[in-house]
Amino acid sequence: MKRLTIQRQAILDLINRSNQHWDAEELARCLNKNGHQLGIATVYRGLGALENSGLIQSIQLADKKRYERADKGHHDHLICTNCGDIEEFCDDKIEQRQQQVAQDLSFHMTGHQLLMFGICQRCFNQSAGSEAL
Amino acid sequence: MKRLTIQRQAILDLINRSNQHWDAEELARCLNKNGHQLGIATVYRGLGALENSGLIQSIQLADKKRYERADKGHHDHLICTNCGDIEEFCDDKIEQRQQQVAQDLSFHMTGHQLLMFGICQRCFNQSAGSEAL
DNA sequence: ATGATACTGATAATGGCTATCATTCCCTTT
DNA sequence: AAAGGGAATGATAGCCATTATCAGTATCAT
Ligand SMILES: [Mn+2]
Ligand SMILES: [Mn+2]
Ligand SMILES: [Zn+2]
Ligand SMILES: [Zn+2]
């Protein structure tokens, strides 16, 4: 990334000011609603550039990529298949075992992504309530 | 899945006879090359039906889904970002810790996917060789 | 100022996958 | 055996996230 333009700065600011996992479309909508003016292609390119520079990070879901702040550091995700909510965690033991597995297989790991799917507590309680009817 | 048709049987047989991670396109091409005759939509539907029935399993990569035999049971994957090769492993400690993490967060996990990215041993050795030039 | 380079934005194109729908295949019931 | 109905097929249209294209614009170095 040669230039941190106002467009890219706007994307970066919005992500850094929030705690969400944004997709490109959401970011574009939110930015354009708040005075900024940038095309969807610029958002995609900006996100790519910012991620390459380590200023933001992303997770690859089945349908789309979602971007978030990089200052939280590495972590993994729990994804509610009912409401789409995304929770975060980082477990050192898991991270260590991954390193061990890679080493055992002479695999030079550069990154990983662990997604856990299921029902979040809120959704679980709600469905428990409706069952009682 | 109400009927295990010859088309679906052909898909299932091919997957069960091999040890690869197939995408829909590859399966269709291979089947049509070997006397079978089935449209791409049928392959997609068949794969979905077979997976729902637990007869095959899949991994969701960034761009596409890849299907493999179910009789190997659950495992996770190492993916070479250079040659696309996919290696497999299963680590009980990681699986246990995942359960623990979910429990700690009151998250009702129904499944997970762990992808590890990097350079496989073969690619690593090759690039080491070319550096010596 | 001039030119080189990077970035933008509108839009076309791509690629994996799902929806549609007419046709065909099976299975059950007469 | 014939008829009817649900399920599957296959050709193709549509969908959606993302990337490619390209002309125009902004920024930087000389
Ligand atoms: Mn996160
Ligand atoms: Mn596998
Ligand atoms: Zn939920
Ligand atoms: Zn490799």
Identify the band that residue B103 occupies on the pLDDT scale cut at 50, 70 and 90: very high
pLDDT band at A36 (very low <50, low <70, confident <90, very high): very high
At the topology level, CATH places domain B74-133 in: Dna Ligase; domain 1 (3.30.1490)
Instruction: Give residue A87's identity as a one-letter amino acid code.
Output: E
Identify the pLDDT of residue A117: 98
Give yes or no for A129 touching B (CB within 8 A): no
User: Packing angle between helix B92-104 and helix A92-104, nearest 10 degrees?
Assistant: 160
Model pTM? 0.95
Q: Is the pLDDT score of A132 beyond 90?
A: no
Ligand 4 centroid vs B97 CA: distance in angstroms? Answer: 29
Work out the burial of residue B74: count CB atoms within 10 Å of its CB; fewer than 13 is exposed, 13-18 middle, 19 or more buried.
exposed
What integer pLDDT is reported at residue B128 of this predicted model?
Answer: 83
Give the model confidence (pLDDT) of B39-59 as tens digits: 999 999 999 999 999 999 999
Identify residues whose C-beta is under 5 A from ligand 2, the ion. Answer: B 68, 88
The C-alpha angle A11, A14, A16, rounded to 5 degrees, equals 105
- Residues on chain B touching A112 (C-beta within 8 angstroms): 114-117
Minimum distance, in Å, between the CA of residue A33 and any CA atom of chain B: 30
Asked, colleague to colleague, whether A1-70 and A74-133 share their fold, the answer is no
Whether residue A120 lies within 8 A of chain B, CB to CB, comes out as yes
A54's tokens: 């380590």
C30 C1' – A19 CA distance, angstroms? 66
Collect contacts of A18-25 with beta carbons under 8 A, ≥24 apart: A18/A69, A19/A68, A19/A69, A20/A68, A21/A59, A21/A66, A21/A67, A21/A68, A21/A77, A21/A86, A22/A66, A22/A67, A22/A68, A23/A64, A23/A65, A23/A66, A23/A67, A24/A64, A24/A65, A24/A67
| Residues of B whose CB is below 8 A from A87 | 105, 107
pLDDT higher than threshold 70 for residue B88: yes
Q: At what angle do helices B24-33 and B40-52 cross, to 10 degrees?
A: 120
- The confidence score (pLDDT) of residue A18 equals 98
- Does A131 score more than 90 pLDDT? no
The mean pLDDT of chain B is 96
How far is the centre of ligand 4, averaged over its atoms, from the C-alpha of B77 (Å)? 13
- What is the percent of chain B where pLDDT is above 90? 95
Averaged pLDDT, B99-127? 97
Contact A90/A74 with Cβ under 8 angstroms?
A: yes
Neighbour count for residue B40 (Cβ, 10 Å):
13
**CB nearest to A112's CB, from B80, B89, B117:** B117
Q: Identify all chain B residues contacting A127, using CB atoms and an 8 Å cutoff.
A: none
**A106 and chain B in contact, CB less than 8 A:** yes
> Helix-strand-coil percent breakdown of chain B, rounded to 5?
45, 25, 30
Mean pLDDT of B72-77: 97
Q: How is domain A1-70 classified at the CATH fold level?
A: Arc Repressor Mutant, subunit A (1.10.10)
pLDDT at B106: 98
Reading the block at residue B104, the tokens are 């700690």
Token code pair at residue B67:
């299907």
The tokens describing A80, both together, are 């509610």
pLDDT at B130: 79
Q: Is the pLDDT of residue A85 over 70?
A: yes
Domain ranges of chain B: 1-70, 74-133
